[in-house]
């Protein structure tokens, strides 16, 4: 018997692991399968709102899988006892997930708020958008070791911005998806040759609307008129292409336009983009093909962006700056210069003379890039009223932009935005934290 003693610890460990892989059933308040499933679904939705699906992902997923199994068995009229059993297990997993989430040692509040904003705008309503949400979630869990380790300031800002950019993508999708589909259909049908002017105007209108949404995502009144113009342009493109296809490819764009306007005048054609949905669903250019073309286009854009702004170029620029004075990092096709040492006087937006050399060096670095646009963002800590901080951050951003323009030979467009205290990098409860939150970011978009 002694020769088997060495196996006892392994047996105990195996039994322990087996016990960890099982879960007790929770007590259900409902007595029928349909009511029980509804009860646990309500619990699931509450956990979604509290972002438990992110903070305690594994337990939440286990609960979701059991709940889905229960739904399938109910739909197939399976054994009610087994449905109740699965539902009780799902509830137990959800309760476990809730407990785990409440016990997390690190919960980055601003990141979670940005994620919640993206979800509330519809991150889960579209397959591709939901895929991006899942990707960011996965990266965030890895970076924080499932929310047990704090993020560095740069990473913190990155994930917050990732979710906010997802929100922008959602708004663009919601407002412009139909116009984009019309554009893709027309391009697939040789619009470059058949109606080049109308195609070009549609592209510009959609791009203008996308840009306005990106810059004013929290103010729909700012971009809705641009969205309407983009949709009208897409509808006109659709009508012109249909007219040319109907009358023959020899029909000129000018003639097709004239006929479309005549049809609209007599009420034969609508100018509303919603009316093309039927055309799109019946078109040989299916949504799947359109989606595939969009994905290939996005991949091409990403590849082009990576060629224009390689890591080597960024490293070379970064090496020219003292990290105590400015941090430089990449965010997609943007290069961000985070200025950490502009010692503005209290309540003042006048540039200190000792900061001018740093700003001159940054402008020289920008001139080495193929720049599309430059934006200066001002930020403050939470000291003082939010109204004063908003005004001060805007004035400081304007001051930095004014100086950059004064040494700008190429006259690149520079926009400004003051965010006040609304986008802190870290806590405002310490002197060090407030110093980090008082900053100016110069965001450079690469062509």
- Render pLDDT for 349-383 as a digit per residue (tens, 0 to 9): 888 877 888 888 888 888 777 778 899 999 888 88
- Confirm whether 269 is domain-assigned: yes
58 located within any domain: yes
In this structure, the answer to whether residues 137 and 213 fall within a common structural domain is: no
Cα 59 from Cα 96, distance rounded (Å): 7
Residue-wise pLDDT for 419-429, tens only, equals 999 888 888 88
Look at residues 33, 30, 23 and name the one whose alpha carbon lies nearest to residue 99. Answer: 23
Are 43 and 97 contained in the same domain?
Answer: yes
Whether 202 and 296 map to the same domain: the answer is yes
pLDDT greater than 60 at residue 202: yes
Q: Pick the closest to residue 235 from 262, 270, 205, 206 (CA basis).
A: 270
Could you give the percent of the chain with pLDDT greater than 90?
47
Same-domain status, 186 and 109:
no
d(CA 182, CA 253) in angstroms, rounded, equals 17
Residues 71, 186: one domain?
no
pLDDT, tens digit (0-9, with 9 covering 90-100), for 231-270: 999 989 998 999 898 888 788 999 989 998 888 887 766 6
- Choosing from 238, 271, 304, the residue where a domain stops is 304
pLDDT tens digit sequence for 161-185: 999 999 999 999 989 999 999 999 9
9 falls within a domain: no
The answer on 432 and 387 residing in a single domain is yes
Of 232, 241, 246, 317, the closest CA to residue 274 belongs to 232
Same domain, 38 and 115: yes
Q: Is residue 162 part of a domain?
A: no
DSSP letter at 146 equals T
Closest CA to 382 of 421, 422, 342: 421
Could you tell me if 299 and 177 lie in one domain?
A: yes
Going by C-alpha positions, the residue among 68, 111, 130 that lies closest to residue 93 is 68
Domain end marker among 265, 286, 304 = 304
* Same domain (yes/no): 435, 398: yes
State the total domains in the chain.
Answer: 3
The secondary element (H helix, E strand) that includes residue 399 is helix 386-406
- The reply to whether 354 falls in a domain is yes
Range of the domain at 390: 311-446
Q: Is residue 14 part of a domain?
A: no
Burial class (CB in 10 A: 0-12, 13-18, 19+), 395: middle
Residue 47 lies in a domain: yes
Q: CA–CA separation, 289 vs 389, rounded Å?
A: 49
Rounded CA separation 106/144 (Å): 8
Residue tagged 């304007």 (tokens): 398
- Indicate if 178 and 249 belong to the same structural domain: yes
Tell which of 304, 338, 353 closes a domain: 304
Same domain, 86 and 139: yes
Q: Are residues 269 and 382 in the same domain?
A: no
Question: Which of these ranges, 39-43, 100-104, 371-375, 403-407, has the smallest mean pLDDT?
Answer: 403-407
pLDDT mean across residues, the chain = 82
240 in a domain, yes or no?
yes
pLDDT tens-place string over residues 36-85 = 999 999 999 999 999 999 999 999 999 999 999 999 999 888 899 999 99
Residue 400 vs residue 2, higher pLDDT: 400
């Amino acid at each position: 018997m002694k020769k088997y003693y060495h196996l006892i610890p392994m047996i105990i460990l195996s039994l322990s692991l087996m016990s960890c892989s099982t879960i007790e059933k929770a007590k259900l308040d409902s007595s029928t399968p349909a009511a029980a499933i509804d009860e646990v679904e309500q619990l699931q939705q509450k956990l979604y709102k509290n972002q438990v699906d992110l903070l305690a992902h594994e337990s939440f997923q286990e609960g979701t899988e059991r709940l889905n199994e229960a739904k399938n068995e109910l739909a197939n009229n399976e054994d009610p006892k087994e449905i109740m059993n699965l539902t009780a297990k799902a509830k137990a997993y959800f309760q476990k997930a809730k407990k785990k989430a409440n016990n997390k040692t690190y919960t980055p509040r601003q990141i979670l708020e940005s994620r919640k904003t993206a979800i509330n705008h519809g991150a889960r309503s579209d397959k591709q958008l939901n895929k991006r949400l899942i990707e960011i979630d996965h990266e965030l869990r890895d970076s924080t070791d499932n929310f047990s380790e704090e993020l560095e300031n740069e990473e913190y800002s990155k994930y917050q911005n990732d979710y906010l950019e997802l929100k922008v993508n959602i708004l663009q999708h919601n407002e412009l998806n139909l116009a984009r589909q019309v554009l893709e259909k027309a391009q697939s049908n040789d619009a470059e040759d058949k109606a080049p002017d109308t195609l070009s105007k549609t592209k510009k209108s959609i791009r203008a609307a996308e840009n306005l949404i990106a810059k004013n995502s929290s103010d729909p009144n700012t971009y809705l008129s641009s969205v309407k113009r983009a949709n009208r342009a897409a509808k006109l493109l659709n009508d012109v292409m249909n007219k040319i296809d109907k009358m023959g490819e020899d029909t000129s764009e000018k003639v097709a336009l004239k006929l479309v306007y005549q049809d609209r005048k007599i009420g034969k054609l609508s100018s509303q983009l919603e009316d093309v949905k039927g055309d799109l669903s019946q078109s040989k250019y299916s949504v799947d093909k359109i989606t595939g073309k969009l994905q290939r286009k996005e991949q091409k854009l990403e590849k082009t962006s990576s060629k224009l702004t390689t890591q080597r170029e960024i490293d070379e620029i970064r090496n020219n700056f003292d990290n105590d004075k400015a941090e430089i990092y990449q965010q997609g096709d943007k290069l961000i210069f985070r200025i950490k040492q502009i010692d503005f006087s209290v309540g003042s937006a006048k540039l200190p003379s000792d900061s001018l050399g740093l700003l001159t060096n940054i402008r020289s670095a920008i001139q080495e890039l193929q720049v599309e646009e430059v934006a200066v963002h001002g930020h403050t800590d939470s000291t003082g009223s939010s109204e004063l901080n908003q005004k001060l951050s805007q004035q400081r951003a304007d001051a930095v932009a004014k100086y950059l323009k004064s040494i700008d030979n190429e006259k690149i467009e520079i926009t400004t935005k003051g965010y006040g205290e609304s986008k802190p990098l870290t806590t405002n409860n310490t002197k060090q934290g407030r110093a980090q939150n008082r900053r100016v970011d110069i965001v450079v978009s690469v062509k």
